[in-house]
Amino acid sequence: MTAAELDPVIHAQARLRVTASLATLGEGDRMTFPRLQELLGMTAGNLSTHLRKLEDAGYVAITKTHQRRTPVTYVELTRVGRRAFEDYTATLRSLLDPTAEVPR
């Protein structure tokens, strides 16, 4: 990817919001699907669609489990996803300030 190219998987507004929200968590930390949905103000269907794209790219991991008898879905940013988000923000900074160096 050159300095002028933004990752199209992350660049969609909804996926950028998802990725940015998950990037605020520590590495290995995760968030429940309903909490992420509430935080972003998205419908369950819309969030699911965008998470599927991010999961297909290897940027998020979805874990489905149970707490007692209640199903719980967790979402976390993978190392690949965290790196992709860091590269995305670095590229964006370089587009906004062409004199800045893009770290690799």
Tokens matching residue 95: 């587009």
Instruction: Tell me the whole-structure pTM to 2 decimals.
Output: 0.86
Domain containing residue 40: 8-95
What are the backbone dihedrals phi and psi of residue 32, each rounded to the nearest 5 degrees, phi first? -75, 150
58, 78 contact by CB (below 8 A): yes
The reply to whether 66 falls in a domain is yes
The reply to whether 84 falls in a domain is yes
The reply to whether 103 falls in a domain is no
Q: What is the CATH number of the domain that holds 17?
A: 1.10.10.10
Neighbours of 92 (CB within 10 A): 15
Q: pLDDT (tens digit, 9 = 90+) per residue, 33-80?
A: 999 999 999 999 999 999 999 999 999 999 999 989 999 999 999 999
